[in-house]
């Protein structure tokens, strides 16, 4: 069985700028925020949803101070077919 798929809100934090970016109603697979952030597919998608312009997206992808502060899990939709190791 693969990782659980969640419908949730995600808060990204820029530690240097001390600013939060909230992404509402997004799909995330897994339950460990550090593993989700380090997985390239989800990191790119979350940054794309938070920063919509190409220049801000590129700058955010290069920002080493950006991380997931909190994930508010709303509804579990099921399980994925692939185990990516995002669940503890």
**Tens-digit pLDDT profile for residues 20-58:** 999 999 999 999 999 999 999 999 999 999 999 999 999
Note the pLDDT of residue 88: 87
pTM over 0.75: yes
Domain ranges within the chain, ordered by starting residue = 4-77
DSSP 7: E
Helix (H, G, I), strand (E, B) or coil at 62: helix
Q: Which long-range contacts (CB under 8 A, 24 or more apart) does 57-66 make?
A: 63/14, 63/16, 65/14, 65/15, 65/16, 65/17, 66/12, 66/13, 66/14, 66/15
Average of per-residue pLDDT across 58-79: 96
């Amino acid at each position: 069985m693969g990782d659980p798929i969640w419908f949730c809100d995600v808060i990204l934090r820029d530690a240097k700028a001390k600013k939060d970016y909230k992404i509402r109603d997004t799909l995330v697979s897994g339950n460990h925020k550090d593993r989700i952030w380090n997985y390239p597919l989800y990191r790119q998608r979350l940054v794309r949803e938070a920063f919509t312009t190409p220049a801000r997206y590129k700058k955010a992808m290069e920002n080493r101070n950006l991380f997931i502060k909190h994930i508010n899990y709303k509804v579990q939709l099921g399980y994925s077919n692939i185990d990516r190791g995002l669940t503890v």
